[in-house]
Amino acid sequence: MPEYEAVIGLEIHVQLKTASKMFTDAPTGFGQPPNTLTNPVVIALPGTLPVLNKAAIEQAVRTGLVFGSEIPEFFSWDRKNYFYPDSPKNYQLTQKDAPVCLGGAVEIELPGPSRNQMGEHRVIHLDHAHLEEDVGKLTHGEGDSLVDYNRAGTPLLEIVTAPDLRGPEEAVALLQSIRMHLSAAGISDCDMEKGQMRCDANVSVRPVGQAHLNNRAEMKNLNSITGVRDAIAYEIRRQRRACEAGQTVVQETRRWDAATARTTSMRTKEEAHDYRYFPDPDLLPVKFPRERVEELRRALPENVFDRQRRYMEDFGLPYTLTSVICYDHELASFFEASMTVYADNPKATANYIANELQRERANATDEGVLPMEAVKLQPAHLAGLVQAIDEGRLAKQQAKEVFVEMFASGREAEAIMEERGLGADQHDDGQLEQWCRDAIVANPRAAQQVRDGNEKAVNSFIGPVMKASAGKADPRKVRDTLLRLI
Ligand code: ADP
Ligand code: MG
């Protein structure tokens, strides 16, 4: 029996973040009353004409730039004809012959040996990405079906990969990488629960060493990470068994049923000519200016994995911290903003964000975590807290309590410390002087350096004195006293 390998290609539909729809100014949105985000164009009243949404085109171009695709100078629009009540026009506007992005590649990270260790990185090539409009949503009830056109016309980018993936874990890693990169660039939140990212999985198997591809099954509209993983794993098993039994896999479209955890045949796979594609006569091809491509390229945020490598190398952060902070662009922005205020202790800053901040966000609400826009804590306030700890004005245990209060109230560390009598000098000057003398006696070399004019050497006494005062002495006063005594 030959060894079989799986071959997988994904078609990933991503809803682009725009205020209005792909071909008209009706607003986009989620969770609104049915059929309120519509206008005559969305419901395709006779005589209406499409108008291109520049923002959607630019989001698509930006996606291509994130993944190193070529952005052709011209791209155009085609009609994909089919009859189904989710599409009032009876065709979908899409790009078949000249899509907005060609080629490119997505870096993915496979699961590591443990959660604390970086997994292997691989590159998955993209075939192309094309723009299209989303369709409406059908709800089938007892005896009737309802249609909601709120989603119809929402800009979608369909990202089509090469058949580079070899297993369900790689497919999941690809979706996670796309979500991370697109949310970091503000292109899409890719929230699968809100239908912002959906995926068709094409799966075939072949004997290892065989170059050509075998017949594939296409599973449509997988809408959760678990769905993608389980559907692909099931399909690989099914096809491998068929091959081992000497049968040929039929090229077809299959449905994934999460309840029974099986795929079942829906229909033989449709061919392009079934849709009678033709160039849309209402929309001119787009000539996208080269200067604008370069402007958009320059304005992109740093690539997520590059940022992670930089945090590990330049800041010496461990993988576990970078994987929490860099994979979530809001946390990364918080970290960077905090570092602009106090840059001396990246590790403590990252630790507070990855642990304390995340814990308080989870505690703050019954469902999920508190969104970052609702967090009152400011990056500069965290910087102030870490600095107070580093300067020995705040013991680590007290700092955690101060942090909880900062998170709840949005107040600065200093204000809370003052109110609680932390960090201020609680002792008489005689006691402080005694601690300073002890510290100087214990380190005569540093004392000599200070006498020789190196005032910075006084810093080596501040820690011991702060420790002696259990973090309660005022560091400025400690410093003055030390300098006076030396
Ligand atoms: P279609 O016209 O059905 O959309 P495409 O050739 O555009 O087909 O490919 C769609 C997706 O299917 C791509 O991601 C591609 O990599 C993948 N694919 C194509 N052939 C195979 C195959 N034999 N096995 C696995 N994936 C495949
Ligand atoms: Mg396809």
Residue 470: both structure tokens together: 């259990």
Residue 253 main-chain phi, psi, to 5 deg:
-100, 130
CATH 3.40.630.10 for domain 429-485: no
For residue 349, the SS3 value is helix
Q: Is 94 in the pocket of ligand 1 (CB under 6 A)?
A: no
Closest among 138, 68, 63 to 103, alpha carbons compared: 68
In the chain, % of residues over pLDDT 70: 99
Closest ligand to 272 CA? 1
**Is 11's C-beta closer than 6 angstroms to any atom of ligand 1?**
yes
Torsion angle in degrees (nearest 10) through CA of 210, 212, 217, 222: 90
Distance 271 CA to ligand 2 centre (A): 9
What integer is the mean pLDDT of 9-35?
97
Ligand 2 geometric centre to CA of 352 (Å): 45
Using an 8 Å Cβ cutoff, are 109 and 124 in contact? Answer: no
67, 179 Cβ separation under 8 angstroms: no
Pairing of strands 217-222, 252-257: parallel
Q: Is the CB of 104 under 6 A from ligand 1?
A: no
Taking the C-alpha atoms of residue 203 and residue 481, their distance in angstroms, rounded to an integer, is: 74
Per-residue burial over 158-168, b = 16 or more CB atoms within 10 Å of its CB, e = otherwise: bbbbebbbebb
pLDDT band at 397 (very low <50, low <70, confident <90, very high): confident
Question: Which tokens in the block code for residue 363?
Answer: 């505690």
Mean pLDDT (the chain) is: 93
Q: Which of 30, 24, 16 is nearest to 58 (CA)?
A: 16
What lies within 8 Å, CB to CB, of 34 at 6+ separation is: 146, 148, 150
CB-ligand 1 contact for 136 (6 Å cutoff): no
Q: Any idea which of 15-29, 183-197, 281-295, 426-440 has the lowest mean pLDDT?
A: 426-440
250-289 tens-digit pLDDT: 999 999 998 999 999 987 777 777 899 999 999 999 999 9
- Ligand 1 neighbour 235 (Cβ under 6 A): no
Decide: 462 and 479 in contact? Cβ < 8 Å: yes
Q: Are 28 and 18 in contact (CB under 8 A)?
A: yes
Which residue among 202, 213, 267, 270 has the greatest number of ligand 1 atoms within 8 angstroms of its CB, and so is best to mutate? 202
Of ligand 1's listed atoms, the one at least distance from the Cα of 269 is 3
Q: Give, rounded to a whole angstrom, the gap between the first and last alpha carbons of the chain.
A: 84
pLDDT tens string 419-457: 888 765 445 677 888 899 999 999 999 999 999 999 889
- Asked if 481 and 432 count as a contact pair (C-beta separation under 8 A), the reply is yes
Domain boundaries, the chain: 4-294, 313-420, 429-485
C-beta separation of 246 from 230 below 8 A: no
Q: Estimate the crossing angle of helix 329-341 against helix 379-390, to 10 degrees.
A: 50
DSSP assigned state of 112: -
Phi, psi of 163 (to 5 degrees): -80, 60
How does residue 392 score in pLDDT terms, banded at 50, 70 and 90? confident
| 174 neighbors 232 (Cβ within 8 angstroms) | no
What mean pLDDT do residues 330-342 have? 96
Cβ–ligand 1 distance for 268 under 6 Å, the answer no
Query: What CA–CA distance (Å, rounded) separates 254 from 218?
Result: 6
Cβ(162) to ligand 1 under 6 A? yes
DSSP bridge partners of 122: 108
Once rounded to an integer, what is the mean pLDDT over residues 322-328?
92
